[in-house]
């Protein structure tokens, strides 16, 4: 079961991916996380990436696609995966089809999570991430047990520069401009399913499951 999650930042893709990971044991591959790992490594490339990402702009298709290709080849991605944050451009969607074909795989379904900008802005400015393990929290909706400290590893929580209002607005603009063609691309392939992501987590998750069932993907996963 190879899934793609699409949606503006803050729409909850990470949360729903986490739920699928624990229920179906397939990994979430987030290009944002891969890029942040490169930054953390302190490499020359990481320094360049940091400047681009902090400005709210997109990293080049070549760099992101190369990182993703390496990640797709790892053992844990062989029975299925959830792509989060990729493809973000039509060119990346084409690259992904090529990568999948090379690996004798296909993208089964593309879930487009949709919620109003106002709701997303509120969610994003409250988002906190662990410096050490990357876990995501929210000061209101999903707080850590001890303020500012990660439940999972005890690391320090911080607000990402790209979660500040100015950068968020730039990212929304980039999304509108560059990701809309990705939706059209998958609509044409009849793989696109829209999920209303403005309500309760449980309701949204059951919509996700309904979408997977409608394509017989859950049965497919248990056959593996
Ligand atoms: P995310 O964690 O998915 O919100 O990504 C954070 C930042 O990483 C984005 O604002 C981009 O600068 C960069 N990024 C992540 N995924 C991609 C991608 N597929 N293409 C280009 N840039 C990306």
Main-chain phi, psi angles of 51, to 5 degrees: -65, -45
Residue 220 pLDDT exceeds 70:
no
pLDDT > 70: what percent of the chain?
97
DSSP string, 98-124: HHHHHTT----EEEEEE--HHHHHHHH
Helices and strands (DSSP H and E) totals, the chain: 10, 8
What residue ranges in 85-223 does DSSP mark as E strands?
Answer: 109-114, 127-130, 136-138, 157-158, 192-196
Which residues are CB-neighbours of 1 under 8 A, at least 6 positions away?
A: 24, 26, 79, 80, 108, 212, 217, 218, 220, 221
- pTM here is 0.82
pLDDT > 90: what percent of the chain?
66
Domains and CATH numbers, the chain: 2-26+79-214 (3.40.50.300)
3-state helix, strand, coil in the chain (%, to 5): 55, 15, 30
The pLDDT tens digits for 45-101 are: 999 999 998 887 889 999 999 999 999 999 999 989 999 999 999 999 999 999 999
Nearest CA to ligand 1 atom 15: 32
Q: In this predicted structure, what is the pLDDT of residue 55?
A: 82
Give catalytic residues, as residue numbers. 13, 88, 127, 160, 171
The three-class DSSP label of residue 167 is helix
Q: Which residues pair with 156 in a beta bridge?
A: 149
Of 10, 49, 53, the one to substitute when testing ligand 1's pocket (max ligand atoms within 8 A of C-beta) is 53
162 or 119: whose pLDDT is higher?
Answer: 119
Main-chain phi, psi angles of 144, to 5 degrees: -75, 160
Q: Confidence band (pLDDT; 50, 70, 90) for 224? A: very low
- Residue 222 Cα to ligand 1 middle (Å): 31
For the CA of 55, the nearest atom of ligand 1: 12
- Can you read off the two tokens belonging to residue 120? 């997303």
Residue 11 has a CB neighbour count (10 Å cut-off) of 23
Which residues are CB-neighbours of 207 under 8 A, at least 6 positions away?
A: 195, 196
Does residue 68 contact residue 29 with C-beta atoms inside 8 Å? yes
């Amino acid at each position: 079961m190879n899934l793609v999650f699409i949606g503006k930042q803050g729409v909850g893709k990470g949360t729903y991916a986490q739920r699928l990971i624990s229920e179906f044991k397939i990994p979430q591959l987030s290009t944002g996380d891969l890029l942040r790992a490169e930054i953390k490594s302190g490499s020359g490339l990481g320094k360049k990436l940091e400047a681009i990402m902090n400005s709210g702009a997109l990293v080049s298709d070549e760099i992101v696609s190369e990182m993703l290709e390496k990640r797709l080849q790892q053992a844990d991605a062989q029975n299925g995966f959830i792509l989060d944050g990729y493809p973000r451009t039509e060119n990346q969607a084409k690259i992904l089809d090529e990568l999948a074909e090379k690996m004798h795989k296909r993208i089964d379904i593309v879930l487009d999570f949709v919620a109003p900008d106002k709701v997303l802005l509120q969610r994003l400015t409250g988002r906190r991430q662990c410096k050490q393990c990357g876990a995501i929290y929210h000061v209101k909706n999903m707080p850590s047990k001890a303020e500012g400290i990660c439940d999972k590893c005890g690391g320090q929580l911080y607000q990402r520069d790209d979660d500040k209002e100015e950068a968020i607005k730039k990212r929304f603009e980039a999304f509108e401009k560059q990701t809309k063609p990705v939706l059209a691309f998958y609509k044409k392939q009849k793989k696109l399913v829209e999920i209303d992501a403005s309500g309760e987590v449980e309701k949204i998750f059951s919509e996700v499951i309904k979408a997977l069932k409608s394509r017989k993907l859950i049965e497919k996963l248990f056959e593996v």
